[in-house]
Structure 1
């Protein structure tokens, strides 16, 4: 029962570490962008947690476009026709179908720009055409420690390793206590078997389960007398064998006690 409870706690901990809570669709619709123009959508991020921004852009009619993802400072440069930079891992140039996801940790206002100008790819964007762009923007708040699961892989690995290590230790303790008590009740050396289990683990447990079959549990807690005097029995014409656990007398050819079942030889 304890092991099952521990497994439940471990599963809950791992689920907690990987939990995210989706806010839902942040924005969606269709932009009609004439030649030489652009459309922009912003995501304001000022919470104490990380967020994941996922967005798609599909040009249903018109030329290829550039999809830029940038912070507020570079967006101002973009508007002023100055040199700007953008997130390369969250942008896609000269495309008709973009699907992008990025995790943000720094507080700022971020912009998703659908560009129908030569700003990004001046030699490949067609001119004179209107671009019809269907888009969807989804924002998710990451609930774990202000960072997403993939950015905390090492921490998650360490926590999971520690949880499994604790589970193994508790399992070893429970099995060790049971083996010690069971071995003592069967007249075996409980401390010795406890050491064997500690050293060999599961293999030691299997060995003990095999060995214990030959040692029947005593029905009496009283220690056996130091010496038994064989007693003659007229029916068998010889002396009887005393049981060291329940003191019952047994025929000389018996391997087990007829009363308690303990092994005699």
Structure 2
């Protein structure tokens, strides 16, 4: 049996270090036996392979995770399941077509009508709606032919139906050139146009149909002065038309006429006119009468 070398360690715990334990060299084929180290006699270096395997542990919420091998050194970050993202400031949306200082309109539910905000709207006139400038030379009178309404009032006064007498001036074979009874009328068409039919009753009746242009009293100095003197509006008119005569010398002739209307009251208008036929049966007549306004 081989000799077994036994080494006893008598060192104290405070004086023994791992570097002072020197085993006795063994001869070839010899087995060295060492006595068990008593408690407190010395501590050998631990074998890293003899460490127990620790299973991984779930990280609790709010617990910091440390890198292995660096105990006590907290990582620069921590994992938290309920961490919140930093708040972001959304810039105010730009609302067009608002007056400076005006609040933007409130959001509405889809399908709900939204009232229009107060806006400073500038409407430019279109080219079609712009009125054409008046190119009428000063002193030129333009008849009003818009809005024809038979029986309306004109510048010379209301429309009327009247009776009177015709006095023939000069020679003539028609009722216009002779004394005759007259039934006449004024039918306003526009503000300054009138139709003035007149029937002269005698042995050979004559029908006068002139279209006249009515004026206001201030159109001439004479009518203006006369209106001031009598205290009434003396409105002149002139016109032309046709004269239809009957009898043996019946014919259709050109007619020229002119006169004045003098409104006496709201219902009565006095009138005076001079009419003349110039071609087939020349004649001149003066009409005086009164009419009832309608």
Report TM bin, short chain: under 0.3
Task: Specify which structure has the higher proportion of helix.
Answer: 1
Under a length normalisation based on structure 2, what TM-score does the superposition of the two structures give? 0.16
Under a length normalisation based on structure 1, what TM-score does the superposition of the two structures give? 0.17
Q: Which has the higher contact order (CA 8 A, sep 6+)?
A: 1
- Larger of the two Rg values belongs to structure: 2
